[in-house]
Structure 1
Amino acid sequence: MTAQTLFDKALAVGRPPTIKKLFPHSRALLVSGKVIDQALRRKGKAMTMAANGRNYLVIRGALQAAQRANAALIIEIAKSESTYCPVNFWNLARLVDAACNELGITIPVAVHADHYGLKSPEDVAAAKIEIPTLFDAGITSIAIDASHMPDDRNLLANLELNPFVPSWAGLETEVGEIKGAEGLSTVEDAGFLIKGLNAHDIFPNWIALNNGSAHGIEASGEGIQVDLTARIHEHLKPYGVAGAQHGTSGNSSERLRAIASQTNTTKANVATALQMVSWGVEVNDYGNALMNEDGSFRKVADAGVTAEVWDKMVALAEKNGWRGGNFKKLNLPIDNWLLAQPREIRDRMSKRVEEFVYQMLVSVFNAGDTAPLAMELLADAGSYDIGTTAERLEDPADWTHEKIVEKAQLLDSDKGPQGDFDD
């Protein structure tokens, strides 16, 4: 089967019904997150990027990189990012679909709602209304993040919200808030969450841990703890769940290669680095923005935004007291400035993201040539819903509401200080 024939066959059967309804004439292969996860598992010792599209130019660059790498890709945005970025849960799929059609992108892409955060049980009622609207808007994968709550409340929230997630969609769950070296996840608390879901025939594609990662632009603590991640993943192997690595910024390529090769991780979130790269900020191998002695960012000449726009950005940040990681709050107010730049400037912003993402996909994540694997899964299934490779192992009678609360009391779980929803 030729590459074109495989793409045409996958396109014919692989787009979920919500995507077909939204984009009836599209040739963008927007697929369930399940497809991306299983393609990376099929290759083995590989993970792909979940690129946080904080602006349209980041989205374009990430798509072009994946096309070059022939890699399956995830484009995502987190719930909190929707408060300070022009991209949100309800316009992300439209932006991705438009870019794919304009640029001739033929690799499969999942559109992921990351960190759909619930801070208390009272948030569940609103989520039951809101989550279906995300899928109506073209989301094909979601992360239910109730990790800020105690373990029993986390599991119970996941159980209560699952009926509002389509059975064909990709699903991520989270057991540890992303906060660095404090409140690290354990085999026991990860097992509690996944086993409790399994008992109710819920089989997540990914689990996110606090394995030492930290969001933002600064390296902190020891970074991602590969051995801890591997131990937890090995314990969860019978339950068919892979890992989602959050907070990759601040970790060297060597450590990220170890995560790909030594754990069962198939999804790696990258956010802050892509934002900074698109703007033209100098970054190191860790994806961290480099700073001058006075704490200001180093802007690369003839890269990213124009010097005039950069000066306006810096002035706006200073006016609002935004420094370091809080530069992310610039995304929404400057979006018109970015899009109003000449085409050659916009193109160089996307191109810089493309080069960064391409190197990560091919040289670090081992995601190259996973696009055909994803399309083969769709073609073989003859459907957008490829099902799951997991099966129920736990007895539902052992995981009633009352027993979930009892089991949680036996966990020695230190969540540490409050964490972070961002990537």
Structure 2
Amino acid sequence: MKIPSFIRGNLLLKMTSLNAGVIIVRLFISALVQRLLTEYVGPVGQYKIGQLRSLSQFLMSVASLGTFNGVVKYIAEYKNDGGQLHKLFSTIFVFVIIGASTTGLLLFIFSEELSGYLFSTTEFEYLIKLTAVVVPFIAVQRVFNGVINGLSEYKKYAKIDLIGYLVSITLTVIFLFQYNLDGVLVAIAVTPVIQVGVMLFFFYKVLREYIPFKNLRLRAPIAKSLLAFTIMSFVSSILLPIVEIDIRSMLDERLSGRDAGIWTNMTFISQNYMVFSSSIFTLYVIPKFAGIYDFDKFKSELFSIYKTLLPLFAVGMVLIYLFRNLIIELIYPGQIEMASLFKWQLMGDFVRLASLVLAHQFLAKKLVLNFIFTEILSLSVFYGLAYFLVGKYEVEGVVIAHFIRCLITFCVILYLVIRYFRKQENKLKIN
């Protein structure tokens, strides 16, 4: 089918339209799988699945020492400079060895304690040990993803993402039927191995072109440059999963495992439509913002992104809200308590999308302190309000906290971005 001319002329729309097809397929399959999980493991089982997914998200950053955004930025800059690429990947090689070996060892040693912390029982100690073995694959997958994003290979990225997802979901369903909840948890734990295999199968020639596998050395010549991204990634990718894990445990303790599962299911719906934007940020937004130092040009690019993304998201979110009861009935039958969570989650996610676009200016310009401040502020407000509002509104209090923190974060990020460009203008005037 021929792509309409107005889409062909807009790179962001081309990426968005291609991404939309992949996401729609993922959403449909995900809905079917969630329905199966609801029937076989129930809300309490889904709460445990959410805990493991949060752990996996945590490990994605720790195992690679948070180098993902650094890989994206420097691949985009150095893709035609073999010498710089060699320095980049030698440094990443060292980072991955340190991150993966340390993380894997700690998971193995403290598997019993981590099982108790995550699942309130030590019976999943075997799962933590399995995850420890998989940690190197988690690190490698994160680095490979950074390369693909840095090259803006959005067509290949969409293909790899979809195939990897289909293979891992197939394994999840098979293990669900065979081993129930334990099978699902094992399938989630080994998913990074599948994803690395898919990437190597479809993208090995390109990876070999940019990653000097044979010439990698245990040296870190640009460690200082990557450490800034490590710090930023640690703040966002590590603290967020910890906060989510703790909030689920709090809901389980103060309300019930069912309530923890219901909030987990709400966040799962959110993650499925928010993933629509995640690749766009790394494939398009960071490379665009990295080369813009003039405020007028930045505003023009920002409004162009907003005009493309926000109306699409607004329409999608309104439809989700209107059909929320149908979604619950089809995917999470019997969990009607979820209906009241949708409006707060959707409004919060819409504001969050707008703030995430702005916040990628911090990543593009390596504004480490600004990034750390806004992330810690956002998570602190969320954590504190969630604990306070659960006492008044029960599980709905968590999504109300999410909406409030998104509004506060957007205002703070906007102020910091404007302040950055004013400082740049003042420097030019002085010079």
Fold conserved between structures, TM > 0.5 = no
Pick the structure with more strand per residue: 1
Q: TM-score scaled by structure 2?
A: 0.23
CA radius of gyration, larger in:
2
* Structure 1 length-normalised TM: 0.23
